[in-house]
């Protein structure tokens, strides 16, 4: 069984993330969406809240498991007995950052390989950072995320502009 782990903070999960999961299940037997924490990214939404949103948004896709994790991705991969990482590439800047991660992960766990997929062209400009920014100012994010995410973000930022 070919299992791939799609890690990220999913802060929040966007239509671009969903597109990558939909693409991955056509290639791999099982996709594990690993919702993680980051020392570099502050999140208003709890890890548990982000996991639940991912589960809700991805519920229509077969062979997808959503798990929260803290710590190193390579350790999470070992716990899940997985050796493939899925990463999305939207821009050249993404590639430069992702290439650094590949190198670090190879040193930490040489058995792990990274697979890159690009989202649909009409979704390539969407980023969680931009979605959060729009939501923080009370803007409409419904074109970029699932309805459940839009509602959760409205609630998260209600009265906090």
Q: Are 32 and 61 in contact (CB under 8 A)?
A: no
Residues linked to residue 67 through DSSP beta bridges, in sequence order: 34
Is the domain covering 3-122 a CATH 3.40.50.620 domain? yes
Report the DSSP pairing between strands 64-69 and 84-88.
Answer: unpaired
For residue 113, the tally of other CB atoms under 10 A from its CB is 13
Domain ranges of the chain: 3-122
pLDDT tens-digit map of 14-67:
999 999 999 999 999 999 999 999 777 667 889 999 999 999 999 999 999 999
DSSP-assigned letter for residue 157: H
Among all residues, which ones are annotated catalytic? 17, 41, 90, 128
pTM: 0.93
Distance of CA 136 to the CA centre of its chain: 20
Question: Strand order of the sheet with strand 84-88?
Answer: 64-69, 30-36, 3-8, 84-88, 113-117
């Amino acid at each position: 069984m070919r299992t791939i782990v799609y890690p990220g903070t999913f802060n929040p999960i966007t239509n671009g993330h969903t597109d990558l999961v939909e693409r991955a299940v056509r290639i791999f037997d099982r996709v594990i969406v690993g919702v993680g924490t980051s020392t570099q990214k502050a999140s208003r939404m709890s890890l548990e809240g982000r996991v639940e949103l991912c589960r809700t948004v991805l519920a229509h896709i077969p062979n997808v498991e959503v798990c929260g994790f803290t710590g190193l991705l390579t350790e999470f991969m070992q716990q899940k007995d997985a050796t493939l990482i899925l990463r999305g590439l939207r821009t050249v800047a993404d590639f430069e950052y992702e290439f650094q991660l590949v190198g670090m992960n190879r040193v930490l766990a040489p058995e792990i390989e990274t697979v890159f997929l690009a989202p649909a062209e009409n979704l390539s400009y969407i980023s969680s950072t931009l979605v959060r920014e729009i939501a923080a100012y009370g803007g409409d994010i419904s074109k970029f995320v699932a309805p459940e995410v839009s509602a959760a973000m409205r609630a998260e930022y209600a009265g906090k502009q």
